Structure 1
């Protein structure tokens, strides 16, 4: 006859959700069995209440109870399954058999009725004797006395949700009579479901933090890459500057030495001329002395006119200088150095131009007097309002419009041709900038711009406004924004020079390119603002 263990298959005791042997088994009304925690979590994660196997739907989530008979069968199966395992002495930290004398063997189960733990040998009565069939066996645990009610000396098999404590059956008839009590198994099932949700939330937070770590590492990598590029570019510029200085120094030395030789040659010629004049003057002095001491009156009168009245043949030496030639050579070197130093902003602008973006004007934001080109790259001010519907995005009082795309991080750069205009406003504005009524051009009102008035008055619209003194009138203006650093800068593109920068800006929302061609000024300001492609070959 086949043994009981050979008639049992583990597949009969596997939960179809967790694919493990049932723990606290419950049965649905359709006859299928699941772990209490598994089916509870399954139902909590779905809007429908249905069986995972046959898909039968229930009108509401029924309160399931642990199938105690089936649980005992599963416990017996686990015991039979484990009977083939070798018994061994209990290791430190493991639960030992309370019946063994001498060497304590490892306990396989603990009995909540006997309040004792048993090894395989001493567990056999609980598996065979009908008297022990009703005893509740659990995985081996220590301190079984802690599972007994101290007041009634009965097993703690219920949970009081009112006081959040374990109680015995007698407790529900006395101190906890009116309280909400449920079997410990039911409460454990719900707690396990809560633990599942909490664990899922913890895993979600862990994934978010890991993603943040990746973002920070990427940010560090990009920052390191940018730092290397900045260092390389700076070294290139400074190396070129040093090389230019060294060449200038060599040219200066050569020129100074050549000019010094020329000065020496010039000086030698001048000295010869001076010595000749001195010799002639000495000869004239001798004649004068001789004539002043002569006793021949006739000779004195005849020689006086030629000796005294005729001026000596001398030239004007007051403007002669040999030092100015050397000074001119030094001045030329200073001019060369100044030109090399002026190239530094040019190199910086070239690096900034790598962040160029394609900006297109947004017609939905354009004041009704503004006329846009079909490609959205040009805007000018017309004489009459366009017949277009108003919307919350449109500027209704001033001739202003924004770019279509906003930016909430990183760096971006664009260029606008302003040639032929006498008035304009350029810069960036935050998304929440007032579109209706008056507009105040200032950082406090979410607008960072510079403007031109009367053809030659340039102003940075800071608080207070800053009048800009420009050596060259810009025909094309570059606008650069570093969102994280809080910087908005303006450049004269053709002169390759910096105009003005807003610093320490605080951006908390999207910012958009800002344009205003202003009024046409009776035709004097009729030229359009043109968004120009960036030329990287400057």
Structure 2
């Protein structure tokens, strides 16, 4: 017996709006619309990089990505539909939620392909029509049965690039053998027996690989930032150390110069003192020699006078006093050409010795200074395994 007030439904009402087939393992999003679990997962995987997930029908957005739960009641209805079928006039699909006022397309936006004059910003692109629509011109895709099987995606440019140049079909398969996208018809001829996979699955795998590359890149950035910080600290430390070394070396060399100046003054005083002492001794000896010469000249005169005497009595009386030898002064050895040649030779030897010491000290200082560095290059050995596939870098320690 027929149930009173029965509602006759069309089978299309239980179709997934993504794959346009009867729902398989139906899941319901928070806005109330239902889809195949696999279809909705693949649809959201395409927008995974945005971090915002929307309903393909009403375009309501969710963040974070909702956890999909199986709609048990709808799954039971679909199972019964498959077994018994429902035949009745089609009921038009409910229109989407009221749309906001269209927004004019700005530079960089995808513009509506239907608008004339002032073009509005597109909100969806159709992979069947190969056109983009604003919210106003998208309404037929939700209200008319003729567009129910069209696939809508976020606004995209270059929709013609999504078609196979040979078969004018959507590029939905990725050929791993030839590394490019193909359509389903390509699988039957030139790409037969090739390693192929759904383009959405390949994108997911490559995104995972890119995520790993990004993680490695971010880790490397952190390492380089740490090395940059250490390098800046080392540079600052080296600058402070160099300034301290300059001040200390300036102090030491100033003391050395002062010490040389003191020695120079002392040598000058030694020479002048020795000159005064030697001249004083020579002047005293000159005075004594002059006195002795005067006495000798006086005695010589007396001898001459005595030799000329005629009176023998007077001669004999004065002879004894005149013949007595006067006291003489012992004269030291006198250098005929005195000079400071030996002293000047000693100064020259001191100069040569000092220059040798300074040269040796400078070489030692120069070697120690050249050892001070921030970066030391260390050669990294590359083994056979690295030569076959892995890259190697020169480490900066």
TM-score by length of 1: 0.45
Single out whichever of 186-195 and 323-332 deviates more from structure 2: 323-332
**Structure 1 residues 259 and 172, CA, compared in 2 at 3 Å: closer, same or farther?**
same
1:149–1:167 Cα contact (<8 Å) kept: yes
**Alpha-carbon distance in 2 for matches of 1:220, 1:109:** 55
The answer as to 2:308 corresponding to 1:294 is yes
Question: Which whole-Å deviations, capped at 9, do the CAs of 1:501-529 have from their partners, x for residues lacking one?
Answer: xxxxx9999xxxxxxxxxxxxxxxxxxxx
The residue that corresponds to 2:251 in the other structure is 236
CA drift of 1:160 comes to 0.9
CA drift of 1:113 comes to 0.9
The aligned runs of 1:29-428 (5 Å cut-off) are: 35=45, 74-78=55-59, 86-253=101-268, 257=272, 260-287=275-302, 294=308, 299=315, 303=319, 310=325, 313-319=328-334
**Structure 1 residues 249 and 188, CA, compared in 2 at 3 Å: closer, same or farther?**
same
Match of 2:41, SS state, is strand
User: Once superposed, what is the RMSD of the aligned Cα atoms?
Assistant: 5.3
1:256–1:329 Cα contact (<8 Å) kept: no
1:24–1:185 Cα contact (<8 Å) kept: no
**Structure 1 residues 279 and 80, CA, compared in 2 at 3 Å: closer, same or farther?**
closer
Match of 1:182, SS state, is strand
- Unmatched tracts of structure 1, length 5 or more: 1-6, 14-21, 28-32, 39-70, 352-480, 487-505, 510-538
The aligned runs of 1:420-499 (5 Å cut-off) are: 485=371
**Alpha-carbon distance in 2 for matches of 1:86, 1:304:** 161
1:111–1:117 Cα contact (<8 Å) kept: yes
**Structure 1 residues 84 and 277, CA, compared in 2 at 3 Å: closer, same or farther?**
farther
Which of 1 and 2 has greater Rg?
Answer: 2
**Structure 1 residues 151 and 288, CA, compared in 2 at 3 Å: closer, same or farther?**
farther
2:33–2:55 Cα contact (<8 Å) kept: no
**Alpha-carbon distance in 2 for matches of 1:84, 1:183:** 33
TM-score by length of 2: 0.59
The residue that corresponds to 1:462 in the other structure is none
Match of 2:56, SS state, is helix
**Alpha-carbon distance in 1 for matches of 2:339, 2:138:** 118
Match of 1:146, SS state, is helix
CA drift of 1:161 comes to 0.9
**Structure 1 residues 507 and 80, CA, compared in 2 at 3 Å: closer, same or farther?**
closer
**Alpha-carbon distance in 2 for matches of 1:256, 1:11:** 115
Question: Which whole-Å deviations, capped at 9, do the CAs of 1:204-257 have from their partners, x for residues lacking one?
Answer: 222232233233333333332332232222112112222333344445555555
Match of 1:227, SS state, is helix
1:37–1:189 Cα contact (<8 Å) kept: no
Aligned pairs, number: 304
1:95–1:142 Cα contact (<8 Å) kept: yes
1:111–1:137 Cα contact (<8 Å) kept: yes
